[in-house]
Chains A and B, each alone.
Chain A
Amino acid sequence: MATQTSEQKSAGLDKNNKYDRQLRLWGDHGQSSLETAKVCLVNATATGTEILKNLILPGIGSFTIVDSQKVVGEDVGNNFFLTVDSVGKSRAQVATELLSELNEDVSGDFLEENVDDLLEKNPAFFTSFTTVIATHLPERTLLNLSKVLWEKNVPLLVCRCYGVIGYLRVVVREHTIIESHPDNSHEDLRLDRPFQGLKEYCDSLDLESMNKKDHSHTPWLVLIYKYLQFWQQENGERLPNNYKEKNALKELIKQGVRKNAEGVPEEEENFDEAIKNVNSSLHKTSVPSEVKALFSDPACLDLNIESKNFWVLMRALKEFTENEGNGQLPVRGVIPDMTADSERYIQLQSVYREQAAADATAVAEHVHALLHSIGRDEPLHPDKNRKPGTITDDEVKTFCRNSAFLTVVRCRSLEEEYCPETANLEELSRHVVEEEEEGSTEGDETVLYIMLRAADRFFSEYNHYPGAYDNTMEADIPRLKSCMNKLLHDWGFSSTIKDDYVQEMCRFGASELHTVSAFMGGVAAQEVIKILTGQFVPINNTFIYNAQKQNSTTLKL
């Protein structure tokens, strides 16, 4: 494999090299998910092309731009993927041509058509994509598009930039994540309930009889295991659970440090590490509540032939936990680096790895039985051309290794958000009321969401955005205020929003500033990448960015 890589390298532009910096984040499997993805962009606005740019560079499979508009001078003023000599031409076409130059491995296509017409004539066009991104769509069109995609479970991302406001909405019915790559997480060391292999290994080491070198190179994991046993002789079989008890254990460990002939303690780094790790390593092993909740999810309980692999695996994990696992998830099989000699570190690492492998095998057996019971037969020897519906042992291993971090994101539909009866008023009112009570002029970004909705309402009434033209500025301010109040009224809010926001909104006049588009282009593209790779956790469900203050917030609407 290594030689292959270097040979490819000498050939010049291979993907390993070109994508090296991102492969270190989402791996080859994440990359191949990207490379098979078909992404559709509705409207080649500055925001739209910036999003696509950040998807084409890392190498999605293909993109298609749907846009019926012709390029105008204003578009060229803020969009890197349009040129002044293209004024009057199809915006979809020009943007597709310039975006395609970014990466020869990505194929680009366009359709110069109106979204409303397309939705009417051929809605299946949109559901043929892996993901659809919509920018700057009027409310009614957006809701129609969203409905079509929702029914077929095709993820939709809605993005727009308005003055200094950036808005992103992720609309996905169900998104399951195995590799969420948490930034910081507890190690899975099981010191509170050592498994057989760990016990045997630790018990086989005798600190007393060790020579000086071995003593100072015994991994801290083993030290804590042993001194915890001493502590338990006095305190019973439990973990030290408060500051005082933990200190007592630390003191015991400290006493274990070898002393020289003069009775002065030697420098033993492994003992220092053991003391340092008492707090973080001695916690009760348990199934995280998020994962527990997934065990009782209907999708996990009611498996059928159509069930996603994720849920079959989840059910198998549940059954493992209830049986072989004695209430616990499979052992992760990863230990941190620590002061130790090579031999014993590798032995200890193998102890954990072997248990992880054994647990994964047990989970795999549940998987096989479940697949059989729902009529999806698993070949005993998984061949290389795996058939759809089967689950490989590698998938089971990855699932088990990540079992503490499994995540499911379910967004509400746009329809639910836009209908006053089902809108998440609690989320909205919390911020609106806060704003009023504190009487601060520095409102939360939630207010900006409300202002965007008010601007949309304004648009559907007056057919232009508030402040779009200098000569209607004066008139637009009270009109926008009335749209906002109607919106608040529909939601049953008695409070209102400061006039400052109305005025500032009119100042924006629906302008799309390039740097706001570029910021949101990065954010939205990364959310698409999360959805396409099934790695890292996307937002649920609305992100609002305020470039004025470089602040942002995420709302569940």
Chain B
Amino acid sequence: MEVEWPGRWNHLKKILERNGPFAHPDFEPSSENLSFVKDVCKILVIGAGGLGCELLKDLAYMGFRDIHVIDMDTIDVSNLNRQFLFRAKDVGKAKAEVASAFINARVPGCKVTPHFAKIQDFDESFYRGFHIVVCGLDSIIARRWINGMLISLLQYENGELDQSSLIPMVDGGTEGFKGNARVILPGVSACVECTLGFYPPQVNFPLCTIAHTPRLPEHCIEFVRILLWPKEEPFGAGKPIDGDDPQHIKWILQKSQERANEYNISGVNYRLTQGVVKRIMPAVASTNAVISAACATEVFKLATSCYVPLNNYMNFNDTSGVYTYTFQAEKLDDCLVCSLKPQTLTFTETDKLQDIISHLQESPSYQMKSPGITTCVDGKNKTLYMQTVKSIEVKTRDNLKKTLKELGLTTGQEVYVADVTTPVSLTFRLQLGSSMDNS
């Protein structure tokens, strides 16, 4: 296959080899700009789904040829309305692998390297190898994790950030006809954690509504999913719900309909049932195309300095007309992850360890999932609580009910918190007041 042919780069060369009054102040028009994109710049794409497929295509046509892509998912039929690198024959195969093979076959000279894996399977040395990271994810946890990883790679000398340790992160997200694209310069501009408020936590129906006063068809479906399934175990003991198994959905549908009939609630159907069980977000090809394109444009700007990159957030919505809004999200002075400032946890001696755990989960600025806490006593690490490892959970479970005083914790003590939202432990300093000024 020919890799170079007359005219191939004509479109890009005009932007990269000519100067213009709106170019980045540091921009130097030269053929080296394109060489850098083609031969040096190494890009990591996270996610090979709706955004990821688009990103791979967009980056390949903007001249990038050394691209890696990570995705742990396999292809489902419902992906085919937008994930255009996949065909019906690919259902069940690894997204990263099929997407890479497609791009490599279509775009001469482009080499996409697939990783059918989780982002957590890779360490610092892997991530350090990239010039720019682009995310097309639907998971906030994964976004936070990557954000934390890129911030942990930053190196400071005498308090000054070493610019060569900075790997920009371009992040896109979509839901239905809405989307956003943002550029994060770790340690310099607002990071994912600085703007955690942009990602409101999932709101669940109160359990008592589901159990006792259902009013909506969704309440009936949640009743079956949360309460009836574990009780009846319709497909065998301990068998969890598989939202892709039509038999499972059919059973939930039937039971939900029975419950809905009992309460005269209308509107339970197959689509809604599957939507509630799998927490499906609507998605269309067009929004993914728009957001990925905006992200890839920003990667191109970052790699070539042809224009000043987005500073730093764009919202998009085309439900009614077509609307974009760009603004500068603010970097928080006391951001948990990027501020370099130690965080303080203020409690009282009589508060229990469980209170700290709950606080880390429920506080809007932390929103952790299953925090584990360790500390250092007499130079030795001591695990106070750890949920994720079964054997340790059993051993440390009793600590939850103990007061901080009983655990020997005092003001100034450092505790280290691990969670799925962060690749590295976060350090907090305890501030224990008297029981009157409880946080």
A interface residues, Cβ below 8 angstroms from B: 1-3, 5-6, 9-10, 12-13, 16-25, 46, 50, 53-54, 57-59, 72-74, 76-78, 80, 83-84, 87, 101-104, 163-164, 168, 180-183, 217, 337-338, 340-343, 345-346, 349, 441, 467, 473, 499-500, 503-504, 507-509, 511-519, 521-523, 525-527, 529, 536-540, 543, 545, 547-552, 554
Contacts and interface: CB of A to CB of B under 8 A. Distances in A.
Interface of B: 1-2, 5-12, 14-15, 18-22, 54, 57-58, 61-62, 77-78, 80-82, 84, 87-88, 91, 106, 108, 176-177, 181, 213-216, 246-247, 249-250, 253-254, 263-265, 269-271, 274-275, 280-290, 292-294, 296-298, 300, 307, 310, 314, 317-324, 326
Nearest to B250: A6
B297 A59 contact: no
B15 A22 contact: no
A525 B286 contact: yes
Given A84-B108, A340-B213, A516-B297, A22 B88 contact: no
Contacts of B263: 342-343, 346
Given A84-B2, A84-B5, A57 B269 contact: no
A338 B205 CA distance: 11
A25 B14 contact: no
A62 B139 CA distance: 35
A362 to B, nearest CB: 23
B15 A513 contact: yes
Nearest to B83: A57
B61 A78 contact: yes
A349 B285 CA distance: 36
A104 B314 contact: no
A471 B197 CA distance: 52
Contact of B14 (A53, A345, A508): A508
B11 A74 contact: yes
A59 B21 contact: no
Nearest to B87: A101
Given A163-B15, A346-B263, 14 more contacts: A24-B271, A57-B285, A58-B82, A73-B10, A80-B106, A84-B108, A341-B213, A500-B21, A507-B18, A508-B15, A513-B15, A522-B288, A526-B284, A550-B314
Contacts of B214: 342
B81 A543 contact: no
A503 B20 CA distance: 7
26 contacts: A2-B254, A6-B270, A17-B77, A18-B78, A20-B271, A21-B78, A21-B282, A57-B285, A73-B6, A76-B5, A87-B5, A103-B80, A349-B215, A473-B18, A504-B20, A504-B22, A507-B18, A509-B14, A515-B293, A518-B57, A519-B289, A522-B289, A537-B321, A540-B321, A549-B326, A550-B294
A522 B286 contact: yes
A555 to B, nearest CB: 11
A523 B286 contact: yes
Contact of B280 (A21, A508, A522): A21
A1 B425 CA distance: 51
Nearest to B9: A77
Contacts of A5: 270-271
A515 B93 CA distance: 28
Contacts of A80: 57, 61, 106
A529 B82 CA distance: 14
A164 B14 CA distance: 11
Minimum-distance CB pairs A-B, first 10: A522-B289, A73-B7, A514-B61, A522-B290, A74-B7, A518-B293, A519-B293, A507-B20, A500-B21, A526-B286
B280 A551 contact: no
A346 to B, nearest CB: 5
A103 B287 CA distance: 19
Contacts of B296: 515, 518
A77 B14 contact: no
A58 B284 contact: yes
A35 to B, nearest CB: 13
A247 B279 CA distance: 39
B176 A552 contact: no
Given A22-B284, A163-B15, A514-B58, A526 B106 contact: no
A21 B81 contact: yes
A83 B320 CA distance: 37
B270 A72 contact: no
A545 B318 CA distance: 13
Contact of A548 (B11, B106, B307, B324): B307
A80 B213 CA distance: 54
A337 B215 CA distance: 7
A87 B274 CA distance: 47
A549 to B, nearest CB: 7
Given A21-B78, A346-B215, A511 B1 contact: no
Nearest to B80: A18
Contact of A515 (B7, B10, B58, B264): B58
Contacts of A18: 77-78, 80-81
A345 B322 CA distance: 38
Given A74-B10, A500-B22, A551 B269 contact: no
Contacts of A78: 11, 61
A13 B77 contact: yes
Contacts of A12: 77, 88
Given A17-B77, A77-B10, A514 B84 contact: no
From B247, B270, B292, B298, residue with most partner A Cβ within 10 Å:
B270
Nearest to A407: B320
B285 to A, nearest CB: 4
Contacts of A554: 321-322
A22 B215 contact: no
A500 B23 CA distance: 11
Contacts of B246: 6, 9-10
Contacts of A349: 215
Contacts of B300: 515
B100 to A, nearest CB: 15
A537 B269 CA distance: 28
